[in-house]
């Protein structure tokens, strides 16, 4: 049994307290498409941050708050999504904007709950649940995941215990407190993006490794899909699964982009 089975068995931590659906960044901006109603998209510094203005008017979030970004590069990324809309506004092509909206409308007022949910993921992290067999899959997991666990222990003093199959393992309070201390300084935009990466990969440790520049984007993506790639190798690709994976990759890339743009 693989760690993918573990995640599907109900042992994944229950719920972020922010919004539904569960993943920050997935909330739709509108119930349906609307026609593009603007000609110009500009980024304006307003003293406390950066606004995106459509024909001179500032964008509001779904909850009618000002869409204001803390860094110009992040504001430029949001503006690029609005500029890229042709004919109609398709929220599905605007993942960075969705993350920004979620950070402002939901996460900013629920920081402790979202941080706690990330720590809860670490408590049953993907990297800690190893296959019983076959040996080749177990070896692939070890190659991709052991260095991350070693990094977490060396960089943050957090030691995580491994399990096989779906047998639950309880991580120490000390390890989880270390993870909580790493997450604590994140601002709402960083925390939202970190939560998206955590839920998409099933691993708070992989998300933190990327945020800390211990792993590259591709290394995190590959490590998160060891089990899935093994299944594809054994049984061949599945068209529906491939389509879902492609959508996950769009979210994944957007969250990674937000974290990258907000690094000091």
Q: Is 36 exposed, middle or buried (0-12, 13-18, 19+ CB in 10 A)?
A: middle
Q: What is the pLDDT of residues 94-142, one digit of tens each?
A: 999 999 999 999 999 999 999 999 999 999 999 999 999 999 999 999 9
Give the separation between CA 3 and CA 230, rounded to whole angstroms: 12
Q: What is the pLDDT of residues 218-263, one digit of tens each?
A: 999 999 999 999 999 999 999 999 999 999 999 999 999 999 999 9
The band of 12, judged by pLDDT with boundaries at 50, 70 and 90, is very low
The length of the chain in residues reads 264
Q: Tell me the two tokens of residue 85.
A: 């809309």
User: DSSP 3-state helix, strand, coil percentages of the chain (rounded to 5)?
Assistant: 55, 10, 35
The whole model's pTM is what? 0.88
The count of other CB atoms within 10 Å of the CB of residue 23 is 20
Give the separation between CA 110 and CA 241, rounded to whole angstroms: 32
DSSP reduced 3-state for 45: strand
Q: What is the pLDDT of residues 173-207, one digit of tens each?
A: 999 999 999 999 999 999 999 999 999 999 999 99
pLDDT, average across residues 204-214: 98
The count of other CB atoms within 10 Å of the CB of residue 97 is 24
The band of 166, judged by pLDDT with boundaries at 50, 70 and 90, is confident
Determine contact, residues 223/164, Cβ cutoff 8 Å: no
Tell how many helices (H) and how many strands (E) occur in the chain: 11, 8
Of the candidates 164, 10, 32, the residue with the CA atom closest to the CA atom of residue 89: 32
For residue 66, what is the DSSP state? B
> What residue ranges in 59-200 does DSSP mark as E strands?
68-69, 88-89, 129-130, 163-164
Determine contact, residues 29/101, Cβ cutoff 8 Å: yes
Determine contact, residues 190/71, Cβ cutoff 8 Å: no
Q: Is 223 exposed, middle or buried (0-12, 13-18, 19+ CB in 10 A)?
A: buried
Give the separation between CA 241 and CA 243, rounded to whole angstroms: 5
Please give the pLDDT value at position 17: 34
Of the candidates 212, 113, 124, 220, the residue with the CA atom closest to the CA atom of residue 175: 124
Determine contact, residues 231/166, Cβ cutoff 8 Å: no
């Amino acid at each position: 049994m693989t760690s993918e089975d573990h995640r599907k068995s109900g042992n994944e931590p229950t719920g972020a307290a922010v919004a539904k659906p569960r993943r920050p960044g997935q909330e739709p901006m509108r119930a349906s498409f609307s026609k593009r109603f603007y000609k110009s998209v500009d980024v304006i510094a307003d003293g406390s941050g950066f606004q995106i203005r459509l024909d001179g008017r500032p964008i509001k979030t779904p909850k009618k708050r000002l869409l204001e970004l803390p860094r110009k590069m992040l504001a430029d990324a949001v503006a690029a999504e609005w500029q890229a809309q042709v004919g109609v506004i398709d929220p599905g092509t605007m993942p960075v904007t969705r993350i920004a909206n979620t950070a402002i409308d939901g996460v900013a007022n629920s920081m402790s709950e979202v941080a706690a949910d990330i720590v809860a993921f670490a408590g049953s992290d993907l990297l800690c649940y190893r296959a019983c067999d076959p040996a080749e899959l177990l070896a692939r997991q070890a190659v991709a995941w052991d260095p991350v666990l070693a990094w977490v222990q060396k960089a943050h003093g957090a030691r995580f215990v491994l399990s096989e199959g779906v047998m639950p393992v309880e991580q120490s309070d000390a390890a989880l407190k270390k993870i909580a201390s790493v997450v604590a300084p994140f601002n709402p935009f960083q925390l939202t993006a970190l939560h998206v990466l955590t839920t998409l990969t099933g691993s708070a440790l992989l998300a933190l490794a990327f945020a800390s520049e211990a792993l590259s984007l591709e290394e995190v993506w590959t490590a998160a899909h060891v089990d899935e790639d093994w299944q594809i190798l054994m049984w061949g690709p599945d068209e529906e699964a491939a389509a879902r994976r492609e959508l996950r990759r769009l979210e994944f890339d957007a969250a990674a982009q937000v974290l990258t743009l907000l690094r000091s």
